Amino acid sequence: DKNIAIPAEIFESYGTIRFIKMFPLILKALTEGAVLVLDEFDANIHPMAVMNIINIFHNDDINKKNAQLIFNTHNPIFLNSNIVRRDEIKFVERDEETHLSTHYSLSDFKTSGTTGVRLSDDYLKHYFLGRYGAVKDIDFYDLFENLMNDN
């Protein structure tokens, strides 16, 4: 039968399906001037699509009602002054002893001096060098070595 409908979930990627389901929320935020909070917004969605949506929220001709997009990510690609402003980049650092989290912005760092953050800085590089904090030393080597030796 030529008239069989096949659900998009069968042929589309998880990221495409997720974006399609998210689209009405993005549109509603823009048309109403709302704040849209998304958990791991960029998960499974092409980085160029994510950057395009960020640019739409920054575009005054489209975002006429000043909607806001707030999302968390583990992807450092967004640590870029061409994508977001310093005051839009927030870090969360968890204290290993108290397990309490500290929340701060990249704009909390001064713009001059040895610890200063300038617009021309490579935020990504400095993040991985630990200059902004919020970087954990993650090393699974011993775990896997022990597991492999046990087998």
CA distance 18 to 37: 15
pLDDT-above-90 percentage for the chain: 49
Compute the C-alpha angle 77/56/10, nearest 5°.
75
> How many Cβ atoms from other residues are within 10 Å of residue 74's Cβ?
7
114: alpha, beta or left, given left = phi > 0 and alpha = psi -120 to 50? alpha
Overall residue count recorded for the chain in this entry: 151
pLDDT band with cut points at 50, 70 and 90 for residue 137: confident
Whether the Cβ atoms of residue 106 and residue 123 lie closer than 8 Å to each other: yes
**The pLDDT of residue 50:** 92
Domain extents for the chain?
1-74, 76-151
Q: Is 92 helix (H, G, I), strand (E, B) or coil?
A: strand
CA distance 127 to 93: 13
Q: Of 50-54, 110-114, 127-131, which range is least confident?
A: 110-114
What are the Cα distances from residue 145, in Å, to 136, 137, 138? Answer: 20, 17, 15
pLDDT at 33 over 70: yes
Rg (CA), the chain: 20
Whether the Cβ atoms of residue 51 and residue 83 lie closer than 8 Å to each other: yes
Single pTM value for the model: 0.78
Mean pLDDT score of the chain, rounded to an integer?
89
pLDDT at 1 over 90: no
| Mean pLDDT score, 56-77 | 95
**The pLDDT of residue 14:** 84
DSSP character for 89? -
* pLDDT tens digits along 86-119: 999 999 999 889 999 999 999 998 887 777 888 8
pLDDT band with cut points at 50, 70 and 90 for residue 6: low
pLDDT band with cut points at 50, 70 and 90 for residue 17: confident
